[in-house]
Amino acid sequence: MHIDDRYPHLAEITSDILRRWPEHETYIEKSLVNREVDVLRVSDELSNVVLRLAKDIPGGIDTLCDDYRFLCEEIVLPEELHFVRNGRYRLSSFEDANRECYANAPFMNRYMNGLLVSDIIWDNHAHAIGSFINDYLPRLKPGTDHLEIGPGHGIFLYFAAKSPNVASVTAWDVSETSIANTRHALSTLGVDRPVELVLQNLFEVGEADEGGRFDSIVMSEILEHLEDPVAALKAASKWLRPGGCLWINVPANSPAPDHIFLVNNVEHAAQLARDAGLEVVDSKAFPMSGTTLEKAIKRKQAVSCVVTTRKPA
């Protein structure tokens, strides 16, 4: 398949995927055909990031491509079949997700590798990260103190660290592996500014600083892993300064082996924020590759819901 010469890194990584998985070409074409230029630019930049990270992985880019296929065929597909048949996610407790996924290091390594590639290929993922880079980061005021809760593979944190509006960068995560992976990714990508990475459970962090500590908090693909997302948003918002923003990215109708809270649509996601006492500034919904938002909602297919909120002054 041909990709515009303006996006050489995206062309390279899609070529690598198709070399390992040629049957995926039609899906990739559907995902890229109507992607806006500003999102394609982000996908190309992210492709460059992934290609650089791949150099430190045994097996390199081939491993990432194989793990992406593993994600699609062996991780997500069985969960989607269960969701279609039962109308709910297979698991309902963090304890079950921890036992099946988080405590299984080899599985989680392949899972996280696959998700890294999905941020480029899956249209809803690409649009969500595009919205973060193109819309959210530029709106932050100069001198912003920024926190990400659950940095995962470190990509959102990397782009936050590059933002000229961000003065300080902090991340909290309950997983030592995630903290180590994020630290390694930032080092590999040449982030030389101080980034505070803390092994920290949001619900055990103690009392928030009086008046808040952060102007910006990001929770990307976190709420669906929790039994009580409203409680998590309330706990996070205590660390926001008045008028500070909390950016949420949560998938609706998106079964996965560690997803336990089902969000129905972007209105549901926004209501969770309101229930936590936050003001909704704007919300966007990005459907999965190859469909429209209306069809995705009707068919209960995956939609990435991006909600920007503000703590009342």
25 pLDDT above the threshold of 80: yes
Domain count, the chain: 2
Residues 261 and 170 in one domain: yes
- Answer for the pair 38, 52: CB distance below 8 angstroms, yes or no: no
More confident residue, 142 or 204: 142
Bridge partners, 284 (sequence order): 306
d(CA 193, CA 187): 10
In a domain, 175, yes or no: yes
User: Which residues constitute the domain of residue 175?
Assistant: 141-310
Confidence of residue 206 (pLDDT cuts 50, 70, 90): confident
In a domain, 1, yes or no: no
In a domain, 214, yes or no: yes
Instruction: List all residues 6 or more positions away from 301 whose beta carbon is below 8 Å from its beta carbon.
Output: 253, 287, 288, 291, 295
- Answer for the pair 247, 136: CB distance below 8 angstroms, yes or no: yes
In a domain, 3, yes or no: no
Average pLDDT, the chain: 95
Quote the pLDDT of residue 103.
86
Q: Which of 57-66, 202-211, 294-303 has the lowest mean pLDDT?
A: 202-211
- Cβ of 46: how many Cβ atoms within 10 Å? 25
Residues 171 and 235 in one domain: yes
pLDDT by residue (tens digit) across 100-143?
A: 998 888 999 999 999 999 999 999 999 999 999 999 999 999 99
- For 167, the 3-state DSSP assignment is strand
Percentage of the chain lying above the pLDDT 90 cut: 88
In a domain, 134, yes or no: no
Does the reported pTM lie above 0.75? Answer: yes
Quote the pLDDT of residue 158.
97
Q: Which of 115-129, 191-205, 268-282, 299-313 has the lowest mean pLDDT?
A: 191-205
In a domain, 133, yes or no: no
* Sheet of 303-310, strands arranged across: 195-199, 166-173, 144-149, 214-220, 240-252, 303-310, 279-287
Q: Which of 76-80, 204-208, 285-289 has the lowest mean pLDDT?
A: 204-208
210 pLDDT above the threshold of 90: no
Residue 156: CATH number of its domain: 3.40.50.150
| 148-177: b (≥16 Cβ within 10 Å) or e | bbbbbbbbbbbbbbebebbebbbbbbbeee
